[in-house]
Copies of this chain bind each other. A is one copy, B any other.
């Protein structure tokens, strides 16, 4: 283990202790699909996604600063928004959230219900980083970036840490990758335990910037918001810190892409066979598994333990899932 990984693993351990009173330790589930497969269903996390792990870690650290900031601000298409709203409320801080127009309405409503001020007018996936910088400047609020933030990365790493506490023999962990916060935290937690644990990121083929960034070893950016039902990974590129962890420090083994059809099939499998009411983004690692794209898992070596999929959330659009189930039935 390098000093780099060791230092980050220590920060993940501290994050786990810091956020423990506020988040849920989700279970490690076995399934009827495959005895060598384990699931980490973060749909059962507070607010229905893994995002509070990072948000609480970042905001509890901000709230402990002297002087405390006037409030926090972020930009998010949904799940990070709810997480920041909840963590800010718990910490007694004001929260302002920029959500792109056209985002999942259920996620917007849930964020407002948690007491945050939500701004959607004129926010797009393309301009939101710039708008965020302007608002940070104008309002003097502390930024809680959805993925390009060390505290957020360390918080997200606690999910993999729990998996490895439950099953130290895990041989592979797959997670969705959008901005790279969860994948970075997962890679740091896993490689700190053993360099033999394979870490795989899964993204839609329509949003393959992380795949290309790893291939070219230069950070790639999508020209526009990608067309994918996996609305949680519509970010245009992974963050600087995430690129540093994942690519420059070679902590991941592969990025795998899945088609929209593969995501839909995984969503149906999640609902019908796993009994998990996932959102499309949450089903990305399952899509890679079902499509036979986690190759090492398919040929388990002697002594290699099970594969674990971090299923990131369950905040789905009811109409979209209804259409999908109706097409199956």
Contact = CB atoms under 8 A, between A and B. Distances in A.
Contacts of A32: 46-48
A30 interface: yes
Given A27-B27, A275-B43, A318 B314 contact: no
Contact of A329 (B41, B274, B319, B329): B319
A279 to B, nearest CB: 9
Interface stretch (A65-73, A125-133, A296-304, A320-328): A320-328
Given A275-B277, A277-B277, A319 B314 contact: no
Contacts of A324: 322
Contacts of A44: 29, 31, 274-275
A317 interface: yes
Contacts of A30: 24
Contact of A325 (B24, B31, B318): B318
Nearest to A24: B30
A289 B312 CA distance: 28
Nearest to A270: B277
A275 B48 contact: yes
Contacts of A317: 329
Given A43-B275, A275-B276, A325 B321 contact: yes
A222 B326 CA distance: 33
A328 to B, nearest CB: 5
A163 to B, nearest CB: 14
A29 B275 CA distance: 14
Interface in A23-80: 24, 27, 29-32, 41, 43-44, 46-48
A119 interface: no
A90 interface: no
A322 B31 CA distance: 24
Max chain B C-beta neighbours (<10 A), residue from A46, A317, A325, A328: A325
A329 B47 CA distance: 19
Interface in A241-283: 270-278
B272 A318 contact: yes
A321 to B, nearest CB: 5
Nearest to A321: B325
Nearest to A268: B318
Max chain B C-beta neighbours (<10 A), residue from A43, A277, A320, A321: A277
Given A318-B328, A321-B322, 6 more contacts: A27-B27, A32-B46, A271-B277, A275-B278, A318-B329, A322-B326
The 7 closest A-B pairs by CB, nearest first: A319-B329, A275-B314, A27-B27, A322-B325, A322-B326, A318-B329, A43-B275
14 contacts: A32-B46, A32-B47, A44-B274, A44-B275, A271-B321, A272-B318, A275-B276, A276-B277, A317-B329, A318-B326, A319-B326, A322-B322, A322-B329, A323-B326
